[in-house]
Amino acid sequence: MAARDAFYVTSPIYYVNDSPHIGHAYTTLACDVVARFMRLDGRRVRFLTGTDEHGQKVEKAAREAGMEPKAFTDEVSQRFRRMVEVMGTSPDDFIRTTEERHIRAVTALWRKLVEAGDVYLGTYAGWYSVRDEAFYAESELVDGKAPTGAPVEWVEEPSYFFRLSAWRDRLLAYYERNPRAILPPSRRNEVVSFVKAGLQDLSVSRTSFRWGIPVPGDPDHVIYVWLDALTNYLSALGYPDTESELFTTFWPASLHMVGKDILRFHAVYWPAFLMSAGLEPPQCVFAHGWWTNEGQKISKSLGNVIDPFDLVARYGLDQVRYFLLREVPFGQDGDFSRAAMLKRANHDLANDYGNLVQRVLTMVQRNCAGRIPDPGGLAAEDDELLAAAHALLPAVRAAMEEVAFHRALEAIFEVVGKANRYVDAQAPWVLAKRDPVRLKAVLWTACETIRHLATLTQPFMPDASARILDQLAVSEPARRFPSLGPDGARLVPGTPLPPPVPVFPRLQESAA
């Protein structure tokens, strides 16, 4: 049983057949926001990402690149490591399936499945898609292709099978016991219907190529890449050592974040493998939607792949992070368009949030000798704004529980709007001439509200939020969530502030 305050969040491990794109960046970013939020909220967090390096698809890509698979995977895996950095994400570990620790874990897990009597030798005869690394029944094909549109080939080879058919009822009982096992609820319903309809045994080894982990005791077979890949979530905790501090603290995983394309592997096969091996299944698998580019499916053949490195260089890191999580209700499909990206960056960030911070801090600099003013007594309007700021943490926490990033950001930006309207209504530039006492109360209230906002935007926009908190001279420990709310900290009058610097530049149309 994982420690109660522990939170283990994982991204999928990405195939190294190709360079990272916006989809990979999106999932890793979503995990990062959860990880940062939980850390600031006082949880013990472990965030894992990495690369999936075995299997026919990667072997084929290496061959096409004229390289040995190991050298090829070393190179492409590095690009994913760079993406993790460029997106400003903060994993605690990066796993590669070609690492020794992983091979050891997969071999041990295989043995457990065998000991449980869930593995038998047979022959696979059916369709296989190398692009999806998935087996398909004849009845699943659509116009001779996989339901995903990927090409399929006929495969007939000796194969070990996992007795998935025997796990139907135990899987259904697991979903029943854990209402959060699969989110969002629409995806849960899909999986439950799929399992209810009955499960086929699953081929878990291949004999027609070599790039994989050999089956223990039968090296003519390599372990099916999905059984190999899913095990990464255990390998990174030191499996098969299930007694270690790391393992006992963090297993079962709190959240496997995945795209909707790979939900079945995570929500059906993976819990069955785990339960068969005597391990607890994950607490939650969340399947998010897919991005299109200006209305079109993203694909290499269409030449419209969005490069995350390019995106960050063009629009800025915080802007990209904000856009990806704000524009689309998390869980649904979304469309990337340059116009929408610019609108979010300029409207929400530069005009609303950035302008609030800039005008308030400039007035403090000019009218309060660059120090946090002494509020004296507060008026009803001040208390009202502060109450809205204080109510944010519970609202954002509730949204994050549902992995609803868009709702968390909506709640935060509602208070940004409220604060801007408050500043407009209080007109501190008029008070500066007429009522210096009231001016101080208004500016203090606005600064205190901005402190709440910037503390809560840290998981989403770490750099800009840090710069705002720097400008309010908030110390490192005071940037954590216990400092928020009516019982938290308060900005201390007299604290000297550095000169204000704008945080969110307006982007030019030419950035598109």
The residues that touch ligand ME8, with contacts defined as CB under 6 A, are 12-15, 23-24, 26-27, 52, 229-230, 232, 258-259, 261-262, 290-291, 298
Residue with tokens 């959060």: 180
Closer to ligand ME8 by Cβ: residue 27 or 346: 27
Q: Report whether 152 contacts 107 (CB < 8 A).
A: no
Shortest gap between Cβ of 202 and ligand ME8 (angstroms)?
A: 15
Residue 23 or 354 with smaller CB distance to ligand ME8: 23
Nearer to ligand ME8, 27 or 89 (CB): 27
The residues pairing with 155 across neighbouring beta strands, listed in sequence order, are 126
Q: Least distance (Å) from ligand ME8 to the CB of residue 261? A: 5
CB 69 within 8 A of CB 211: yes
- For 174, the token pair is 């697991």
Distances (CA, A) of 303 to 297, 298, 300, 335, 408: 10, 8, 5, 16, 34
Identity of the residue, 24 or 36, whose beta carbon is nearer to ligand ME8 in the bound complex: 24
| Distance (Å, whole) CA 261 – CA 14 | 13
Look up residue 228 and give its two tokens: 């190999």
Counting every residue written for the chain, the total comes to: 512
Q: Tell the smallest beta-carbon distance from residue 233 to ligand ME8 (Å).
A: 7
Which residue, 32 or 382, is less far from ligand ME8 as judged by CB?
Answer: 32
Residues 6+ apart with CB under 8 A from 278: 112, 116
d(CA 500, CA 85): 28
**Closest to ligand ME8 by CB, 26 or 315:** 26
Two structure tokens written together for 98: 């070609």
Chain residue at closest Cβ approach to ligand ME8: 23
Judged by CB, which is closer to ligand ME8: 91, or 354?
Answer: 91
Question: Shortest approach of ligand ME8 to residue 290 CB, angstroms?
Answer: 4
Angle at the Cα of 180 from the Cα atoms of 179 and 185, rounded to 5 degrees = 80
> Phi/psi of residue 128, each to 5°?
-140, 140
Least Å distance between CB 70 and ligand ME8? Answer: 17
Kindly state the smallest distance separating residue 483's Cβ from ligand ME8, in Å: 34
Least separation in angstroms between CB 393 and ligand ME8: 29
Minimum distance, C-beta of residue 125 to ligand ME8, in the bound complex (Å): 25
In the bound complex, what is the minimum distance in angstroms from residue 357's beta carbon to ligand ME8? Answer: 32
The residue (of 290 and 351) whose beta carbon lies closer to ligand ME8 is 290
Give the residues across from 371 on adjacent strands.
496
Amino acid in the structure at residue 100: E
Return the CA Rg of the chain.
Answer: 26
Distance CA 26, CA 390 (A): 30
Find, among 249, 226, 246, 225, the residue nearest to 235 by Cα: 246
334 is written with which tokens? 């979304």
Which residue's CB is nearer to ligand ME8, number 194 or number 290? 290
Residue 164: closest CA among 204, 110, 107, 205: 204
Cα gap 225→130, rounded to integer Å: 11
